[in-house]
Structure 1
């Protein structure tokens, strides 16, 4: 009955409605990476987009990736709402939809990209530094007191422990398997033998042949072709503050919190973008 009323409202509406949710930035827990995408931060926009009873929801994705759990939570929220409201979801990859960004894109029923978009990177990575020799040369003594044999796993100021590396690899393999399962479940028979799950990336023009995307296209023309030229676009999502727009996400965050933390978050976010040449 509820769905019948929703369908009736759509039919009575003079112009079709496309709800646009912009998901731009690295993905991580709230408070990390400046204005990172997290399930908590994007939930209001996603919920509002589906509550508007649109004819379609469009995800404009521009993300280099980040935290796996947050990526999975955002994707799961999109699917729950899409199934509940019976609304088609289309993802549009902009500069980058890599790693966690592609995880979110797979929540859509269809994925489109620009010919020059970067998509894929279905893998898991951890990176750090080994500084134990550096501090030893400068006479610095590292003091760590922990309850729990593995509590100080992969401490950058101590020599690397093979058992720590093996444990990290087991964690990565489990996350990687979940990522692959999500892609296979969402893309299904559209995936071809050219699709790889080893962290490879493709530009949009190549990605079509792998089945990772459905075609080349931009948000507005694709939705006009789908819903008609009279379609009305309504965007959902919080706007960045003036400081964040002028100075970058990390610097903007620093104005309202600890300066050092803000600078570190901004540097981490820029590093995620930099690996894709952006």
Structure 2
């Protein structure tokens, strides 16, 4: 029969299957592409939100400072924080502290400057910069007094800075002093011998590698490095004596400049400080202006974010290997 139904041929069935697979493939690809587009837009909007918040924070901070400025009275006490390690690139760097000091001294409403210190010390160079600048500014503005107020800790380079102030105050339990110098490192010579590792160093200059922790120490180089530390220590002592003057009760005390740290109560007896008090009590009772206005240099939100992303790994590794310079302690 001519009109009898006939099954489709094999080639026709294969063609139908191919179309079905192609349709399914197109559907899957479309889904994948849509997911990719969604992810891209999601990342874009997240990044846009982050930038918006960062810009808003950067703009909002100065507005807050302007609002604070508008509400300030006729006179106030400037406050500058000296917190943490005194070193370049840190919050208590000489650049940051000096910038805050200059801004405070240039403000006609500032009746006194309080350095609120909570620091174990740090670089003798950074501390020396701040010490010299305090004395210079005091000479230019004799009517504006500088008061160092030690909270928990004012040791080493931090006390170096404090000794340039007109007066120093602390709590009776504060830790004060530590007038000394240290430079520490490690020696890995014995470890390398046990591991069978040979150190190969190529230098130009007889003593160029004298701080290399992978080589044995030489007596003459150790003696030289000690002379460097002794010289820095003498500079530290001279600055403290210059800053404190006759207020030091016993300049020839055998342990006063030995690197020991004293309680605030002991420091008062030794003449290392002038009285017991806090930043607020000094502003109220000594300066006579209880309102404290913060002149501490603040990092921008972007700078803080950048620091978190880019920690100075190489610098800390160098310190761990023993390549750091002298530290006031």
On whether the aligned pair clears a TM of 0.5, the verdict is yes
The yes-or-no answer on 1:28 pairing with 2:87 is: yes
Q: 1:198 aligns with which of 239, 250, 258?
A: 258
Please report how far the alpha carbon of residue 43 of structure 1 lies from its aligned counterpart in structure 2 after TM superposition. Answer: 2.5
Q: Deviations over 1:47-98 (max 9, x none)?
A: 1111113111110011101111111111111111121122110000011110
**Matching of residues 116-265 of structure 1 within 5 Å:** 116-193=173-250, 194=253, 196-228=256-288, 231-239=290-298, 253-257=307-311, 260-261=313-314
Listed as ranges, the matches of 1:65-144 within 5 Å are 65-86=121-142, 87-144=144-201
C-alpha deviation, 1:25, in angstroms: 1.1
Distance 1:227 1:40, change over 3 A: closer
Give per-residue Cα distances to partners, 1:183-217, cap 9 Å, x unaligned: 11111111112571111110101111100000110
Q: What is the CA distance between 1:117 and its match in structure 2? A: 0.9
User: Which secondary structure state, in structure 2, belongs to the residue aligned with residue 65 of structure 1?
Assistant: coil
Q: Which structure has the highest helix share of the two? A: 2
Task: Give the superposition deviation at 1:263.
Answer: 6.4
Superposed CA offset, 1:200-251 (max 9, x none): 11010111110000011011112211243x5431111233567998xxxxx9
* Runs ≥4 residues deviating over 6 A: 241-245, 265-268
Alignment-derived partner of residue 47 in structure 2: none
User: Does 217-226 or 109-118 show the bigger shift?
Assistant: 217-226
**Aligned twin of 1:9:** none
Q: Could you tell me whether the CA contact under 8 Å between 1:21 and 1:57 is conserved in 2?
A: yes
**Whole-Å separation in 1 of the counterparts to 2:162 and 2:280:** 17
Contact 1:191 1:212 in 2 (8 A): yes
CA separation of 1:262 and 1:69: change in aligned 2, threshold 3 A: closer
Aligned pair partner of 2:116 in 50, 60, 68? 60
* Runs of 5+ unmatched residues, structure 1: 1-12, 246-250, 269-275
Cα distance change, pair 133–212 in 1 and its aligned pair in 2 (3 A): same
Larger Rg: 2
Give the TM-score taking structure 1 as reference length: 0.80
Shift of 1:261: 3.7
